[in-house]
């Protein structure tokens, strides 16, 4: 697919924004009618009952985009159709979980099948064993990371929008860029319903799909010499917070897979008594990380690895600081 002209790219963005926005609006009406509402509680970060499942609008936009691209790009049809099938699986099990909570095992099984579909698509694109293993790992990790980190207004969708837009700019042209920009636009279509105070949540149908779609972009871009380590930069805020928090819970003998409010962003949101500042701060970090990825696209691996180490140390330090200062204030209030 040739490099999109400004006019065709604008039309592509508008269409995806519109589909996601209309889908989210319809999902909200459906959720209210079916009483699919998250209630406030000790394992939640919101203060009022809020419907869930709005991410189905993003799913609809993404699936229509993949189908349109597959029809126009037969050379990449296998990858696109495998991606679409994986999205259907992840979104489908998330949709079921939004209606009646499931145990982790059925979700993990379906997610594993979706990961295999991505691996099949990467193989069809000429990926070797390392690329296939990367696809499997990225799909399983990012699908669950986005689910874990979807806890305050606007956070998960804004992070996905920034990362997808950066991946689109990195790709520059071709089918990967169209998928990336379409995903970013779909997130933009959803965000007005989730900011500044959520009128509907993504739900598992949306958060899992965002993580899976980003895994697709990471695995696909790595085939073009994008460098898998460099591609982690736009995801660093979520990867650092999720991995350190879950490791801490596991070390303490807690059931880390259950809903909780122990992520750094949740501690900060309680301290700030609101979500907006936290979401903006995470967006600022990710914007800088995206710029770093784009600036380092031609850098040698000997330069990229130290940069990632610095980012990891800085993120780990910020995570520890936010937890310590927020916990101290909460203890003082008690």
Whether this prediction's pTM lies above 0.85 is answered by yes
As a whole number of angstroms, the distance between CA 98 and CA 212 comes to 17
| Per-residue buried b or exposed e for 62-95, using 16+ beta carbons within 10 Å of the residue's own CB | bbbbbeebbeeeeebbebbbbbbbbbbbbbbbbb
33-77 tens-digit pLDDT: 999 998 875 555 556 788 999 999 999 999 999 999 999 999 999
As a whole number of angstroms, the distance between CA 110 and CA 195 comes to 31
What is the domain partition of the chain in residue ranges? 6-333
226-247 tens-digit pLDDT: 567 889 999 999 999 999 999 9
pLDDT at 4 over 90: no
309 pLDDT band, cuts 50/70/90, is: confident
pLDDT at 91: 98
């Amino acid at each position: 697919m040739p490099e999109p002209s400004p006019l065709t790219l604008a039309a592509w963005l508008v269409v995806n924004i519109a589909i996601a926005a209309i889908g989210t609006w319809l999902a909200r009406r459906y959720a209210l009618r079916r009483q699919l509402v998250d209630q406030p509680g000790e394992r939640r970060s919101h203060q009022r009952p809020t419907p869930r499942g709005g991410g189905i609008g993003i799913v609809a936009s993404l699936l229509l985009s993949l189908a349109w691209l597959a029809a126009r790009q037969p050379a990449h049809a296998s990858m696109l159709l495998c991606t679409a099938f994986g999205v259907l699986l992840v979104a489908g099990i998330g949709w079921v979980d939004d209606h009646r909570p499931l145990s982790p095992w059925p979700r993990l099984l379906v997610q594993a099948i979706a990961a295999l579909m991505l691996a099949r698509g990467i193989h069809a694109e000429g990926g070797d064993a390392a690329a296939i293993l990367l696809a499997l790992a990225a799909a399983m990790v990012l699908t669950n990371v986005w689910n874990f980190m979807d806890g305050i207004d606007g956070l998960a969708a804004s992070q996905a929008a920034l990362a997808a837009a950066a991946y689109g700019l990195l790709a520059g042209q071709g089918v990967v860029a169209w998928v990336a920009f379409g995903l970013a636009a779909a997130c933009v279509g959803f965000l007005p319903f989730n900011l500044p105070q959520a009128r509907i949540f993504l739900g598992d149908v949306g958060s899992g799909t965002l993580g899976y779609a980003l895994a697709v972009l990471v695995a696909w871009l790595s085939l073009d010499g994008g460098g898998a380590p460099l591609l982690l930069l736009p995801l660093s805020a979520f990867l650092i917070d999720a991995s350190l928090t879950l490791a801490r819970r596991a070390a303490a003998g807690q059931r880390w897979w259950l809903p909780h409010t122990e992520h750094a962003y949740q501690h900060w949101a309680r301290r700030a008594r609101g979500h907006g500042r936290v979401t903006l701060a995470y967006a600022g970090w990710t914007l800088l990380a995206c710029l770093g990825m784009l600036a380092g696209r031609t850098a040698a691996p000997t330069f990229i690895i130290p940069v990632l180490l610095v980012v990891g140390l800085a993120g780990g330090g910020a995570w520890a600081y936010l937890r310590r200062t927020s916990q101290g204030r909460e203890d003082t209030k008690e």
